[in-house]
Amino acid sequence: MLRLEPRPAAPAWLELATPVMAVIATMIAGGVLFALMGFDPVAAVRTIFWDPLFGPAASYSRPQLLVKAGPLILIACGLAVGFRAGIWNIGAEGQYIVGGLCGAAVALAAYPAEGAWIFPAMVLAGAAGGWAWGMIPAMLRNWFGASEILVSLMLVYVAQRLAAWMAFGPMRNPEGFGMPGSRNLQQYPSAANPELVAGTGAHWGVVAAALAVVATWFLMSRHIRGFHIRAAGLAPRAARFAGVSPAALVAFCLGLSGALAGMAGLFEVAGPGGQIIDSFGSGYGFTAIIVAFLGRLHPLGILLAGLLLALTYIGGELAQLTLQLPAATVQVFQGMLLFFLLAFDTLTRFRIRSARAMA
């Protein structure tokens, strides 16, 4: 019988090695799965993990990694701060949607006016929308003790229906022949969030994601608030004695992660997405939870994890294209990747000992 024994501190090499081990294990397990399905496992794994970076069309797909990873990283940075404090916002998807709706609302209200103020106002509205949507579970937890996990999750469904209602109702494009969906903001210069430097894929959302990585790193490792957050996550009671107000922390973490998710939604609707459609929330908020864990709740880890997940999305498309691998492969891959990472993570937190030796 094996048993787990907690380690005081994981060795640094192990912290770095486990994500790599998880990726390798996913490749092996994925390869076995592909072989069972009658595909060439080596070609499949190479197409998903190698070709987007170095394949024939890599000059296009590399920048696309940024487009796909940008919102994931931006959202995950905010979530990780809360997760560190033991505050579980799993409703980032809803905050992303509401942020997108609020930002788009500013643009649609301003249409067809042009002005340099419009885009900054949209960013503010997006962040405010996400913040407000995140503050609902925060306040309900602070006032009534309601679980923020469950309230934030419920609010995802509400936001999804809100988006559908907007796409068919108030935000429907009056020139769209009665079809659902708002005006396309890409075609509205003052509101558009275009690629900033040609061929890089980087739009303002990618810039914001990069800033978020730096800012959350600073917050968590150099700022007293970050210390409070880590303290609250590790030893809630001790943190309270040290003068950390749990209510303020809940409001801060949910507000921050909500605002970042809302901004991600806004950058997406004004940029790559272009318009509010009924299926506007396409799962970034949930995938960002995976990114946060994959990145071990560390800003730099999140950066890498976001890029890795983006790689599986784009590689999955390439694998469909070249190998006729079904689209669902990506989901299986992401699921397995997370399973393996979480499992290997145990190695960093615990030592595995034989129970008999202990006795």
Tell which positions 173-192 bind other proteins, by CB under 8 A: 177-181, 184, 186-187, 189-190, 192
Tell me whether residue 128 or residue 155 sits nearer to other proteins (CB atom): 155
Q: Which has the closest alpha carbon to 74: 201, 214, 279, 229?
A: 214
Tell me whether residue 187 or residue 354 sits nearer to other proteins (CB atom): 187
- Binding residues among 138-167 for other proteins as defined by CB under 8 A: 140, 143-147, 149-151, 153-155, 157-158, 161-162, 164-165
User: Residue 356 interacts with other proteins (CB under 8 A)?
Assistant: no
- Binding residues among 205-224 for other proteins as defined by CB under 8 A: none
* 78: three-class secondary structure by DSSP: helix
Look up tokens 């790193």; give the residue: 217
State the nearest-atom distance from the C-beta of 54 to other proteins, in Å. Answer: 13
Q: Which has the closest alpha carbon to 277: 101, 51, 31?
A: 101
State the nearest-atom distance from the C-beta of 306 to other proteins, in Å. Answer: 15
Pick the piece of the chain touching other proteins (CB under 8 A) from 224-232, 238-246, 286-294, 298-306. 286-294
Distance CA 302, CA 118 (A): 31
Tell me whether residue 216 or residue 348 sits nearer to other proteins (CB atom): 348
User: Residue 195 interacts with other proteins (CB under 8 A)?
Assistant: yes
Q: Map residues 299-338 to x or -, x wherever contact with other proteins holds by CB under 8 A.
A: ---------------x--xx-xxx-x-xxxxxxxxxxx-x
Q: Which has the closest alpha carbon to 307: 318, 316, 298, 295?
A: 295
State the nearest-atom distance from the C-beta of 159 to other proteins, in Å. Answer: 9
- Binding residues among 226-285 for other proteins as defined by CB under 8 A: 268, 271-275, 277-280, 282
Alpha helices (H) in the chain, listed in sequence order: 12-36, 41-49, 51-54, 58-84, 92-110, 118-144, 148-168, 204-222, 224-234, 236-241, 246-270, 284-294, 299-323, 329-349, 355-358
CB 308 within 8 A of CB 294: yes
- Of the candidates 35, 40, 199, 355, which one interacts with other proteins according to CB under 8 A? 199
Q: How many residues bind other proteins (CB under 8 A)?
A: 95
User: Residue 8 interacts with other proteins (CB under 8 A)?
Assistant: no
- Of the candidates 76, 289, 302, 305, which one interacts with other proteins according to CB under 8 A? 289
Angle at 128 between CA 124 and CA 132, to 5 degrees: 175
* 328: three-class secondary structure by DSSP: coil
Distance CA 73, CA 296 (A): 13
Tell me whether residue 12 or residue 116 sits nearer to other proteins (CB atom): 116
Q: What are phi and psi of 178, to 5 degrees?
A: 75, 5
Tell me whether residue 260 or residue 345 sits nearer to other proteins (CB atom): 345
- Binding residues among 88-127 for other proteins as defined by CB under 8 A: 88, 90, 116, 119
Tell me whether residue 145 or residue 243 sits nearer to other proteins (CB atom): 145
State the nearest-atom distance from the C-beta of 224 to other proteins, in Å. Answer: 26
Distance CA 304, CA 302 (A): 5
* 87: three-class secondary structure by DSSP: coil
322, HSE (Cβ side, Cα atoms, 13 Å): 17
State the nearest-atom distance from the C-beta of 82 to other proteins, in Å. Answer: 12
Q: What are phi and psi of 340, to 5 degrees?
A: -65, -40
Tell me whether residue 166 or residue 212 sits nearer to other proteins (CB atom): 166
Burial group, residue 130, by CB count within 10 angstroms (0-12, 13-18, 19+): buried
State the nearest-atom distance from the C-beta of 311 to other proteins, in Å. Answer: 13
- Binding residues among 9-68 for other proteins as defined by CB under 8 A: 33, 37, 56-57, 59-61, 64, 67-68
